[in-house]
Amino acid sequence: MNIFIATIIENKAYLREDECHHCCKVLRYKSGDTLRVIDGNGKMYEGVLETATPKLCVIKIVAEIGKQVEDDRKLHIVIAPTKQIERIEWMIEKCVEVGVNAISFIQCKNSERTVLKHERLIKVIESAVKQSLRLYIPKLNPIIKFNDFIKTQNSGALYIAHCHHNFEKVEYKIALKNQANVTVLIGPEGDFTSDEIVSAQAASYKGISLGNSRLRTETAGLFACQAFKILND
Amino acid sequence: MNIFIATIIENKAYLREDECHHCCKVLRYKSGDTLRVIDGNGKMYEGVLETATPKLCVIKIVAEIGKQVEDDRKLHIVIAPTKQIERIEWMIEKCVEVGVNAISFIQCKNSERTVLKHERLIKVIESAVKQSLRLYIPKLNPIIKFNDFIKTQNSGALYIAHCHHNFEKVEYKIALKNQANVTVLIGPEGDFTSDEIVSAQAASYKGISLGNSRLRTETAGLFACQAFKILND
């Protein structure tokens, strides 16, 4: 049975307009049909489609069929978008499947891409949420300048992943374990500059080592996410 | 500096024909230029290009500049190719970056794809090897029938990852830790059939759980790979 993301008000679920079109036009659901909705906040419901138009779909909720508690440990991946956008799209998809709480984008000195289609990435997240049956929708933040980001994000355990050898680093197995709130910065293809690392350190970010392999930007993002999951599972 | 994969005979490195073309035509290397080669068996050398033609490139080795010992714990990912081949290609790329020793393909009852371009996948592996500076080239095996595979592969710790709830499973954290030799079977989009799981069990494969999320085929393959790496790191 298909799953849709909806706004729940009392015992009714309202699909977003793009979901309505998908529901009625693409999947041909008709009023009276049973379907599943998630609220993106930990709950899944089964309901009966009452109003079924491409602009408005209203579902009468019949039962709560799934519940997830919010993660007690949260991971925020902060990454410089790759030149090839597909690489970031699949990283987002995989991070959502494995489990991530927030994803932000930063514009760095060596960034080759500074523009992102936010709406498209939201869709990538939502389809991964439906596919993986994760009932919380991770937060996606628009791209901002590296220096602006490190000024604003300064709570929890803060790490910057880079390949420079002349800066101290914490091993990921120590860095990511038993932390309630972790932020990991992942640099662009050309890596962070020394200046960026120094600024991050001044904003109380510590260097983190993700192991011995030289990982691509998007692989590093997913590796940090899976390591956080596995080490705290 | 670019890295090439070469056959080493005494103090000379011979590039494969496709590497020769890439070296001379694409990257415009000329005789006298210095470049790096890896033998795919744990060593990286620096050398000087002596013969530089699109059909034959011979490098005089000057120094051994890198050495890796072979992993003492080996992971073999055995997966049913996905309908969209890009998904398998990126999984291969990421598994190589993170570290995998062998990848095999199986044709299952629910497989939507039974044909693979082996040569193309070899190229994906080789470019990931160069990019990640891993000096061992993982083995890639052509696609065979599920039942033929489980008959042949029967040494080490054998696992089958599936989403059926009516079969016993070992948690990945126990299953993948401290094992010298692990094989993990990953099913197609439609999962393994009950019959396939029963056959695998008869061939002494145990069920493995990769956590609570419902992972896509290619995500499951990479997750198993990263979990093996992280749990034994």
What tokens were used for B35?
A: 């470049």
> Based on the structure, what is the number of domains in chain A?
2
In this structure, the answer to whether residues A61 and A121 fall within a common structural domain is no
Last residue of a domain, one of A45, A67, A89: A67
Would you state the pLDDT for residue A233? 84
Q: Cβ contacts of residue A3 below 8 Å, gap of 6+?
A: A35, A36, A37, A38, A44, A130, A133
Evaluate whether B61 touches B13 at the Cβ level (below 8 Å): yes
- Could you report the per-residue pLDDT of A176-215, keeping only the tens digit for each? 999 999 999 999 999 999 999 999 999 999 999 999 888 9
Last residue of a domain, one of A20, A41, A67: A67
The partner residues of A47 in beta bridges, in order of sequence, read: A35, A61
User: Quick check: B177 contacting A, CB < 8 Å?
Assistant: no
Q: Which residue of B has its CA nearest to A68?
A: B212
In this structure, the answer to whether residues B13 and B82 fall within a common structural domain is no
In this structure, the answer to whether residues B23 and B83 fall within a common structural domain is no
In this structure, the answer to whether residues B145 and B225 fall within a common structural domain is yes
Per-residue pLDDT of chain B (233 residues; tens, 9 = 90+): 789 999 999 999 999 888 999 999 999 999 999 999 999 999 999 999 999 999 999 999 999 999 999 888 999 999 999 999 999 999 999 999 999 999 999 999 999 988 899 999 999 999 999 988 889 999 999 999 999 999 987 789 999 999 999 999 999 999 999 999 999 999 999 999 999 999 999 999 999 999 988 899 999 999 999 999 999 98
CB contact under 8 A, A226 and B231: no
For the full predicted model, state whether its pTM sits above 0.95: no
In this structure, the answer to whether residues A102 and A200 fall within a common structural domain is yes
> Whole-angstrom Cα distance, residue A124 to residue A120?
6
In this structure, the answer to whether residues A46 and A78 fall within a common structural domain is no
Would you state the pLDDT for residue B141? 95
What tokens were used for B17?
A: 């024909």
Would you state the pLDDT for residue A155? 87
In this structure, the answer to whether residues A59 and A86 fall within a common structural domain is no
In this structure, the answer to whether residues B107 and B210 fall within a common structural domain is yes
In this structure, the answer to whether residues B78 and B63 fall within a common structural domain is no
Evaluate whether B80 touches B188 at the Cβ level (below 8 Å): yes
Give the domain extent around A35.
3-67
Which is nearest to B4 in space by CA: A216, B102, B116, B26?
B26
In this structure, the answer to whether residues B214 and B128 fall within a common structural domain is yes
In this structure, the answer to whether residues B181 and B94 fall within a common structural domain is yes
Would you state the pLDDT for residue B17? 87
Query: Rounded to the nearest 5 degrees, what angle is found at the Cα of A31, between the Cα atoms of A26 and A33?
Result: 80
User: Quick check: B222 contacting A, CB < 8 Å?
Assistant: yes
Last residue of a domain, one of A67, A86, A102: A67
End-to-end CA distance of chain A: 29
* Preferred mutation among A88, A133, A223 to probe B, highest tally of B CBs within 10 A: A223
Give the distance from residue B51's alpha carbon to the nearest chain A alpha carbon, in angstroms. Answer: 31
Task: Give me the interface pTM, i.e. the ipTM.
Answer: 0.83
CATH, residue B145: 3.40.1280.10
B-chain residues near A230 (CB < 8 A)? 173, 226-227, 230-231
Residue with structure tokens 């489980």? B150
Which is nearest to B78 in space by CA: B158, B134, B169?
B158
CATH, residue A29: 2.40.240.20
Would you state the pLDDT for residue B188? 95
User: Quick check: A97 contacting B, CB < 8 Å?
Assistant: yes
Low-confidence ranges of chain A (pLDDT < 50): none
